[in-house]
Amino acid sequence: MKNEQPKLTPIRKTFNEKYGELSESEIQKEILFSQKIANIKLEKIRANTSNLVWFLIVIPIIFGILAAVLMS
């Protein structure tokens, strides 16, 4: 029988080329860094979503209530 290698996707090949020679500690640092970057991006998205909710939903409701109270 032949010694068959599994076919690797292009993403897996580039991953192996980039990280194949790193030690376990270096790989853990890379993972920690990428998670930190993802966390920062998600926090920015959360803050932007909060601003949108306030400006598009809450503030118009408050102005509507004030306008209704002042008109009556």
> What are the tens digits of pLDDT across the range 45-64?
999 999 999 999 999 999 99
Judge whether residue 1 has pLDDT over 80. Answer: no
pLDDT band for position 38 (cuts 50, 70, 90): very high
What are the boundaries of each domain within the chain? 39-67
pLDDT of 4 > 70? The answer is no
Q: What predicted TM-score, i.e. pTM, was given to this entire model?
A: 0.60
**In this structure, how many other beta carbons lie within 10 angstroms of the beta carbon of residue 43?**
10
Q: Which residues of 50-61 are buried (b: 16+ CB within 10 A; e: fewer)?
A: eeeeeeeeeeee
| Angle, CA 26 vertex, CA 20 and CA 29 arms, to 5° | 125
